[in-house]
Structures are given as C-alpha cells and as structure tokens.
Structure 1
Amino acid sequence: MRIVIAEDQVLLRDGLVRLLESAGHIVVAQVGDARVLVEEVNRHRPDLVIADVRMPPTYTDDGARAAVYLRDRFPQLAVLVLSQAIDPTLVADLAGGRVTAFGYLLKDRVLDTAVFLDDIETVGSGGTVIDPAVLDGHAELAVLTDREVEVLGRVASGRSNAGIAADLVISKRTVEAHLRSIVDKLGLEAGPEDNQRVLAVLTWFAGRVQPEIPGGRS
C-alpha cells in the first residue's frame, strides 16, 4: 500500500516508517503537521493515512479534524487514527456514518507489531479495526445482553466470526446466533451479513455518543 503518515513525534514517526517499509509498504510522505497532511494526501492520493489525533498547529484535535475532512473528500481513502484517549464520541465523528476502511487504535495498547501490521492490512482492504477498550464500559446498549455487547465489541474491532468464537470460547454457530439477535434487537433491515455488521456498529455509536467533538482531544 501507498501510505502517508502524520505524527509529530519524530521517533515514533521514524519507527512507523521503518516498520511499514520492512513489511513491503511504500511511505509516500511523512509529516508532523495536520495542514501538511492534507496537502500531501492531495498530492500523492495514497491508499491509507495513519494519523495522530493531537498534532500541530494547535496540538489539540487537528489530526482528527484533518482525518474527518479527508474521509469526506476522498471516500475511498482508508484512515487509521492513533490516539492516547479512549473517546467513543471522537470515534463516531471520525467514522462519519461509515466504518469501512477505518481504524481507531490506542497508542499505549499497540503492543505487537505483527498485530499492528495485520490491522493496517484490514483497514487498507476496507475493513474496520477499533480498539475494544473504546467500547468497553462506554457504549453499552441497554437492549443487548452482556454477551451480545462482547460480540459487538469484537465486530467493531475487526474480528471475524471465527475470531470472535475463539476469543469468547464459544462456537461459531453461537456467534452467528448472537449476531442475528443483535441485528433483530437494533431493528436493522435484513441484508448481506457484512452490511449488517457495519450497521450494528454504527447503531452502537449513534445510540450512545454525542454528535460533536469538543476541542482539545489527545
């Protein structure tokens, strides 16, 4: 993939470049400013952007706002956001009504480079990766059981049905039953399974978070 990295911490940015290039990706630009991020995406039209939330020029949520703008301007652009904060409201705003080709990871919880590279591949190929910590305890829908919340959280983090079954030590058939129940309880229309999964995650966010981003996130 052709990737643009936006991260103002030089050591972290250089580490990302080395990691991605060692995995066969092409880093077409690396920047430390949200305004320059927009310029470089316009110039290079990459497949994926990896962006920090808190960046110059104001060191508040400039990176997040740039990501929202870029996802609106380039609907096919995959975006992976790195943050230091558990913030479901910010995730909802960044998703902008669609969670395809979108990721939100907490910097402090990226502990395995192989898993991180897998997450990049998932987002770059149109999938969704959201750290479950963003959802746990912040987005429970009263109509869902605790187990259904666990299943939906793993859907949001990009896990397949087989992966969810392994995580929760249940059968794949049980996972499928939980997903059918979630779709029914959330009042989603019948359709392709992947679409239902995305709709379920979007409904999750829409039901439990506010629509606007206050300033000053990290």
Structure 2
Amino acid sequence: MRVVIAEDNVLLSSGLELLLNSQGFEVVATTADAPGFLAAVGAHRPDVTIVDVRLPPAFRDEGIRAAAQARRDHPGLPVLVLSQYVEQEYAGRLLAGTGGGIGYLLKDRVSRVAEFTDALRRVAAGSTVLDPEAVAQLLAGRGDPVDALTAREREVLALMAEGHDNVTIARRLVITGNAVHKHVGNVFLKLGLPPGDSGHRRVRAVLAYLRRHGGP
C-alpha cells in the first residue's frame, strides 16, 4: 500500500516512514508543506495519504486545506489527518460533506502501532475514522440531543464514529448484533437523522450534533 506523508516535523515524519515501511506499507514520498504534498500526490497517486493539520508557512489549517484540495483534484483520495490536539472546527470541516476514505487522529495514536495502522488501512479501504478521544472531547459537556443518549448509546456512537461496523461494535462491547442494531437506530432517532438518509450516516450522527451546537 503506497503512502504519501505531509509532516513538517522531521523526527515525526522519519518515524512515520520507518514505522509504516516496517508494517508492510510503502512510503513513496514525504513532504513538509502543502504545495509539496499536492505535487507528491499528483506524481505518485498513492493509495492513502497522511497529512498534519498545521503546515508551513502559517501553521494554521494548511494541512486541512491541502487535504480538501487533493480530494477535489483526485476524487476519493484517502486522507488521514493527524492533529496534536482535538480541534473541533478542523475535524468538522474535514468530515462534513465528504465521502469515505477520511480519518482524523490525534498524533499520540501513532505510538499505538496496531491501532494506528488499522485506522490507516480502514481509511485506505474507504472507511471514515474519527479518533475516540476526539469523539469524547467533542461530545463532553454539551446539551441536547446527545444528553438524551444512554451510556451504552454513547459508547456505540463513539465506535460508529471510529468507522467500525456493527459486527465489530458487538465484539468490542460484548453484546449481540441485534442489540447493536437497536442502539444504532436509537442514536439516529435521537439525533434526528431520517431513516432514508444515505451515505455515511454513522459519521453524520456526530456531525449533525456538532452543527446544531456551534460546530461547522
């Protein structure tokens, strides 16, 4: 699986390259800024990309904007964005209005090699993956409608946002598939998502909540 990395921190970039090469990936290019990333994507047509949220010169949202531009230039390009902290605006901008093949992870997740590489593979396969810590922080301390969810429904919502299917959720929570199906239905109902909503309803469950409470 061929990977392009956009990360200005040399140590992290080199570490990612060594880690991924040791895990069966092929890092075909590493870049330190948005123009370099876009050029590398065009030249190598990778299977998946990794982009830091903040890139030179201003270290604001250059990575997010580069990821969006790359997906416009190459529809369906899988992009996994890394961030030092949970940044609600950037997470929402990345995920809103997109198809699959998108991920948002905190950088400390890289040290958990199995989790990180699993997330990268799921993004490459077209899933949408949101860091569980990001989900917890984005949902913490807010009002309706998430307050209406039970503790179990919140757990299911967090796993949904990570991109897991019902079978995996059932295994992780040690409950039946039928129970997961019921919880998912309750989440959609309580967040006001209609049954006919197509596409990535699992991620839309998180985004619908964020948009109602000041998110993008």
Same fold (TM over 0.5): yes
Structure-2 residue corresponding to 1:188: 193
Which moves more between the two structures, 69-78 or 127-136? 69-78
User: Aligned-pair distance for 1:99?
Assistant: 5.2
User: Aligned-pair distance for 1:176?
Assistant: 1.1
User: Aligned-pair distance for 1:184?
Assistant: 2.5
**What are the superposed Cα offsets for residues 38-61 of structure 1, whole Å, 9 maximum, x if unpaired?**
121122222211011122122222
User: Aligned-pair distance for 1:30?
Assistant: 0.6
Structure-2 residue corresponding to 1:80: 80
**What are the superposed Cα offsets for residues 125-148 of structure 1, whole Å, 9 maximum, x if unpaired?**
001211111121423524433332
Letter aligned with residue 180 of structure 1: G
Structure-2 residue corresponding to 1:53: 53
Structure-1 residue corresponding to 2:158: 153
Residue 10 (structure 1) aligned with residue 15 (structure 2): no
Residue 204 (structure 1) aligned with residue 209 (structure 2): yes
Q: Confirm or deny: 8 A CA contact 2:80 2:105 kept in the other structure.
A: yes
* Identical-residue share of aligned pairs (%): 44
User: Aligned-pair distance for 1:69?
Assistant: 1.9
Query: Counterparts in 2 of 1:96-107, with a 5 A limit?
Result: 96-98=96-98, 100-107=100-107
1:147 is paired with a residue whose SS is helix
Q: What are structure 2's unaligned runs of at least 5 residues? A: none
User: Aligned-pair distance for 1:189?
Assistant: 3.6
Q: Confirm or deny: 8 A CA contact 1:17 1:27 kept in the other structure.
A: yes
Which moves more between the two structures, 199-208 or 61-70? 199-208
Q: Confirm or deny: 8 A CA contact 2:100 2:200 kept in the other structure.
A: no
**What are the superposed Cα offsets for residues 74-132 of structure 1, whole Å, 9 maximum, x if unpaired?**
22100000111112221110113125111111012333212211111100000121111
Distance in structure 1 (CA, Å) of the matches to 2:198 and 2:169 = 15
Distance in structure 2 (CA, Å) of the matches to 1:12 and 1:129 = 21
Which moves more between the two structures, 148-157 or 166-175? 166-175
Q: Confirm or deny: 8 A CA contact 1:4 1:48 kept in the other structure.
A: yes
TM-score with structure 2 setting the length: 0.86
The number of aligned residues is 211
2:50 is paired with a residue whose SS is strand
Structure-1 residue corresponding to 2:119: 119
Structure-2 residue corresponding to 1:71: 71
Structure-2 residue corresponding to 1:91: 91
Structure 1 pair 182–193 and aligned structure 2 pair: CA distance change class (3 A) = farther
Structure 1 pair 163–2 and aligned structure 2 pair: CA distance change class (3 A) = same
Q: Confirm or deny: 8 A CA contact 1:5 1:49 kept in the other structure.
A: yes
Letter aligned with residue 125 of structure 1: A
Tell me the C-alpha RMSD between the 2 structures. 2.3
Distance in structure 2 (CA, Å) of the matches to 1:149 and 1:99 = 23
Higher relative contact order (CA 8 A, sep 6+): 1
Q: Confirm or deny: 8 A CA contact 1:31 1:37 kept in the other structure.
A: yes
